[in-house]
C-alpha cells in the first residue's frame, strides 16, 4: 500500500491508474511516430556517419530490409522523444503516495530522470558501441571478413540507446520506492547481493552476448543503484 497523503484506493483502482498511464504513454509514442518517420532517414544517416567504424560498408540482405529499418528507427526515435512524457506519466502514478513537501521535488526529479536517460543513451553510443564494434571487427582474419547488416547495426544502436537509458533510471526508481513506502533503505541494503545478480541478468539480456559489454552495463548500473540508496538515505534522515 502506498503511503503519503492519498492512501485511499483499492488495488483495482491502482491498476486502473497504471493502465491509463501506460495507454497515455503508448498514445504519445504513436502520435510522434509519423514525425519520426519523416526524419528517420536523416537521423539514421547521421548515426552511421558518426558511429560506424571507418571503412566498414553496411549491407542489406532482403528487398524490404531498408524499409523495415526505417520503421524500426522511427519507433526508436519516437520512444526517445516521448521519454519525458512517459517519465511524467510514471511520476503521476507514484505521486499520490507522497506528501506535499515531497511532491515539491517533482520538477527536479523529472529533470534528473531525463538527464539520466539521456546520459545512459550517450554512454551507450560513445563508450559501449565503439567497444562492441572494435571487438567484432577485431575477430577478422585474412580468411574471415565481417559482413555487418544494415538492420543489425541500426538495431544495435537503437537497442543500446534505450537499454542504457532505462537502466540508468535506478537512482530515481530507488528514491521513489523509498519515498512511497514500497521499500526501506535498510531492506534494499540487505538485498544488495540479490539486486546485483538481477542487474547482471538484465544486462545479459539487453546487451550483445559477450561478457565485457554485459559488465559495461552492469557496473555503472549498480553504482547508480548505490547512488540512489545514498540519496534516499539522506532525504529520509532529513524528513
Mean pLDDT per segment of 10 residues, for the chain of length 239 residues?
Answer: 47 76 91 94 90 85 91 93 86 64 65 87 89 82 85 89 87 79 81 88 79 82 87 68
Give the three cell numbers for residue 53: 567504424
CA distance 170 to 199: 10
pTM of the model: 0.78
Q: Which residues contact 188 (CB under 8 A, 6 or more apart)?
A: 174, 177, 178, 195, 229, 232
Q: What is the dihedral of CA 148, 153, 155, 160, to 10 degrees?
A: 130
133 DSSP assignment? H
Domain edges within the chain: 11-238
Predicted confidence at residue 68, as pLDDT, reads 93
Predicted confidence at residue 101, as pLDDT, reads 55
Neighbours of 163 (CB within 10 A): 20
Predicted confidence at residue 30, as pLDDT, reads 94
Predicted confidence at residue 93, as pLDDT, reads 72
Amino acid at each position: 500500500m502506498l503511503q503519503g497523503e492519498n492512501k485511499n484506493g483499492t488495488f483495482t483502482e491502482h491498476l486502473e491508474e497504471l493502465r491509463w498511464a501506460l495507454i497515455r504513454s503508448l498514445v504519445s509514442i504513436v502520435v510522434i511516430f509519423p514525425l519520426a518517420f519523416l526524419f528517420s532517414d536523416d537521423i539514421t544517416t547521421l548515426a552511421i556517419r558518426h558511429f560506424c567504424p571507418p571503412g566498414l560498408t553496411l549491407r542489406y540482405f532482403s528487398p524490404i530490409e531498408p524499409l523495415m529499418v526505417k520503421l524500426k528507427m522511427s519507433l526508436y526515435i519516437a520512444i526517445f522523444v516521448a521519454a519525458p512524457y512517459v517519465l511524467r506519466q510514471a511520476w503521476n502514478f507514484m505521486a499520490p503516495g507522497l506528501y506535499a513537501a515531497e511532491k515539491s521535488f517533482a520538477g527536479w526529479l523529472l529533470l534528473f530522470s531525463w538527464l539520466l536517460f539521456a546520459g545512459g543513451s550517450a554512454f551507450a553510443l560513445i563508450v559501449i558501441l565503439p567497444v562492441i564494434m572494435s571487438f567484432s571487427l577485431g575477430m577478422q582474419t585474412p580468411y574471415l571478413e565481417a559482413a555487418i547488416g544494415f538492420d543489425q547495426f541500426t538495431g544495435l544502436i537503437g537497442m543500446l540507446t534505450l537499454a542504457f537509458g532505462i537502466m540508468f533510471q535506478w537512482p530515481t526508481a530507488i528514491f521513489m520506492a523509498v519515498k512511497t513506502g514500497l521499500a526501506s533503505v535498510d531492506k534494499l541494503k540487505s538485498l544488495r547481493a540479490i539486486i546485483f545478480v538481477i542487474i547482471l541478468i538484465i544486462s545479459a539480456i539487453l546487451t550483445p552476448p559477450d561478457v565485457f559489454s554485459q559488465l559495461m552495463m552492469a557496473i555503472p548500473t549498480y553504482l547508480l543503484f548505490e547512488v540512489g540508496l545514498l540519496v534516499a538515505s539522506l532525504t529520509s534522515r532529513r524528513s
